[in-house]
Amino acid sequence: METTERVTIANVDLPNPVELYMVVDFLNHTLKDWNLLFGLSKGEEEGDLQLIVYEEKQQ
- 10 Å CB burial of residue 55 (0-12, 13-18, 19+) is middle
Q: Residue 36: which residues within 8 A CB-CB, separation 6 or more?
A: 27, 53, 54, 55, 56
Q: What's the confidence (pLDDT) of residue 44?
A: 73
Q: What is the pTM of this model?
A: 0.60
pLDDT in tens, 22-41: 888 888 888 888 888 888 88
